[in-house]
Amino acid sequence: MPQPDCPLLSLPSEVRQMIWQYVFEYDDQDTNRLSSEQLALLATCRLINFEAIHLALQNTNFQLTCPASKSLSYRNGLRHLGPLQLHLRYITITMPIEKINCGPNNPFLLTQLPLTKLTIILTDNVSYSQRQGPHAASFDLRYQLVSALLYRSPPSTTQTVEGGISTVTLQGDTTEIYLSRLQSLARTVSVKTWNFAPTKDMLYDVMAHCRAHDVEVRYQNTHISDSSTTYWLWRALTHFQLVDSRIKILRFRGVAGLLGGADGAMAVRETEASRQKERLFGWVFYNRGNCEVMRIAEAKELGYRASDEA
């Protein structure tokens, strides 16, 4: 409730904004969490909440951890935030890889928010060799992971070839799979029966709708000595031929918050020169040792268009 006699509220609004900025700004967003003291400040009165909540959301790394016994659940929290969710900037999600799917709590859906950084950590306590047993669970997880990544309905496209360069143009507007019961059921059945057949156009469409500037996807396996898990995420994408197995950087034009369709894409082999040539925004895939496996990012300065090699 309003507190007109509070000395703090008697200060000019510009001074109060400086105070809120001091309270909620941090040098290291990777470790910043909202403390109970900060929450108490937001709950003091409506005026303080109105003036400070935007800074609190923009400068806090919200860390969500999904235990092995439960499923990830964040959709209700976003719904309660309403339009304020557009002020979120840092989110870290840690969850068992077995729990990932294309449902309403799919962490890849958060790429549609204008986040500065989204970190998705997929944990696994089963060795790669065990996953190669009679039930071939590793293939199930590949289908689940790629299905979650490609969370939108298949786009319609047109393709033109000029000078040996193939340009793919996305047409029409796609929607999230989970919004349609029929599409959700069809996707679930296709994943469970290994009939899910993702395409590069679906990957391009997801990139075109990505508003997050920096998305990190990390795979962590507790079996450190098992070197076969090193390129697990990479293999999930190459299994469906969404990327060439020789390519380590996949750059997209228009990925950093530019909606309305993919303007084009390119794929190149990773070299130190290409890293230094431009500043990259987009998606980075890591193995368990924090070693970069693949980068999907905006081709900010280069004028290349989609190549069949991609």
Q: 280 and 148 in one domain? A: yes
Q: 165 and 190 in one domain? A: yes
How much is the pLDDT for 111? 92
Per the structure block, which two tokens stand in for 217? 């996807």
Q: 145 and 35 in one domain? A: no
Distance from C-alpha of 24 to C-alpha of 9, rounded to nearest angstrom: 18
Would residue 226 count as lying in a domain?
Answer: yes
Number of domains in the chain: 2
pTM, two decimals, is 0.77
Q: Which domain holds residue 54?
A: 1-59
How much is the pLDDT for 208? 81
- Rg (Cα) of the chain, in Å, rounded? 22
Distance from C-alpha of 122 to C-alpha of 140, rounded to nearest angstrom: 15
How much is the pLDDT for 2? 55
Q: 197 and 48 in one domain? A: no
How much is the pLDDT for 115? 92
Using an 8 Å Cβ cutoff, are 271 and 227 in contact? Answer: no
Q: 69 and 33 in one domain? A: no
Distance from C-alpha of 16 to C-alpha of 51, rounded to nearest angstrom: 8
Would residue 200 count as lying in a domain?
Answer: yes
* Intervals of the chain under pLDDT 50: 134, 226-230, 254-280, 299-310
Distance from C-alpha of 301 to C-alpha of 310, rounded to nearest angstrom: 18
Q: 129 and 30 in one domain? A: no
How much is the pLDDT for 232? 67
Per the structure block, which two tokens stand in for 7? 């000395």
